[in-house]
Amino acid sequence: MGRSRPEQITPNHFGLRGGCDARDLNRHADLFGERFRSSVTDKQMEMAQGPVSAGTPKLVRMNWGVQWNYPVYKDGPEFAATYGGLLRFRGDILELGKRTIAAMEMTASNPKHEAGTEADTVHNSFIGFHLRTENDALSTWPSFDEQSTAYLARASNLSSPSGYAYLATGNVTEAAKFATLALTQNALIVVTKHELLSKMPSLQRQLDSLSWDQQALVDFIVLLQAGYFLGVSPSSFSMNVALKRHLKGEGLYTRPWKVGSNEGDGRSWLVGRYENYWEDWLFMYDSLWP
């Protein structure tokens, strides 16, 4: 008897409702359990099979992206706003992030510009950027030119007291390119974690010993502390930073901030496309635990 092949399933297909709009939030994926059990029973009857048991199991495999198929706020704000905190950052990485923040704030403490009006001033000492242009970024995502143009245009409407910004990116070449554009167009000095820690050998060695994704956690920690954050949609990293910053400012019972608007939430803004719920990955905003 050959090996059984698992049935491929997509959870949100079990939430389809006749006549509903294609943008309907997550196609009612919370109905998955009830609909899935009903589907299994129907197929058993159709194929005259016995019930599923330990001796006659049914194998299923969920298609890619299943983690984005459930609107997390259906579990209530208390659970949705705290569940993500169960995954703790390592103590040494947290400490390295705090030291990087201290270095960034020290760098930005050198006044370069007069502050603008109270309404358009970034009250913290620096702006945070996330430039997502690494090789694994999908071709449909905003390009370097689209990201950099939108970021610097947005930054020009903010008046940072110090004229400094922190950049998170894994692309060293385009980090330098972006820093040059920011300095030329906005008189904005952009630095990375590597530059900040270059004069502190022990911290630089600690940073270099981390894997690329562990180093990204340092960026995450620093960006949470920025006076204003500019990222890109649909990067889950940018989304998570923005949602975490929103939760930090608005509290446990706040709903996720509306994405794609000109105003953002006053703390963060993400460049991207916001026209189609599925094609533009907007479902991720409903499916992330901040």
Domain residue ranges of the chain, discontinuous segments joined by +: 7-70, 83-287
Give dist(CA 161, CA 112) in Å, integer: 7
What would the pLDDT profile of 124-135 be if each residue is shown by its tens digit?
489 999 999 887
Tokens of 50: 């016995």
Give dist(CA 43, CA 37) in Å, integer: 10
pLDDT at 195: 97
As a whole number, the mean pLDDT across the chain is: 84
Q: 79-108 b/e with 16+ CB inside 10 Å = b?
A: ebbeeeeeeeeeeebeebbebbbebbbebb
Res. 120: pLDDT tops 50: no
Give dist(CA 82, CA 77) in Å, integer: 8
pLDDT at 258: 67
Rounded average pLDDT over 202-211? 97
What would the pLDDT profile of 26-43 be if each residue is shown by its tens digit?
556 667 778 888 888 888
Q: 281 CB contacts (<8 Å, ≥6 apart)?
A: 233, 234
Rounded average pLDDT over 91-106? 97
Rounded average pLDDT over 162-175? 93
**CATH, domain 83-287, list 3.40.50.11350, 1.10.3720.10, 3.40.190.10, 3.40.50.300:** 3.40.50.11350
Task: Look at strands 60-62 and 189-191 and give their pairing.
Answer: unpaired
User: Which pTM value belongs to this model?
Assistant: 0.81
Res. 64: pLDDT tops 80: no
Dihedral of the alpha carbons of 34, 37, 39, 42, in degrees to the nearest 10: -120
pLDDT at 113: 43
Helix (H, G, I), strand (E, B) or coil at 102: helix
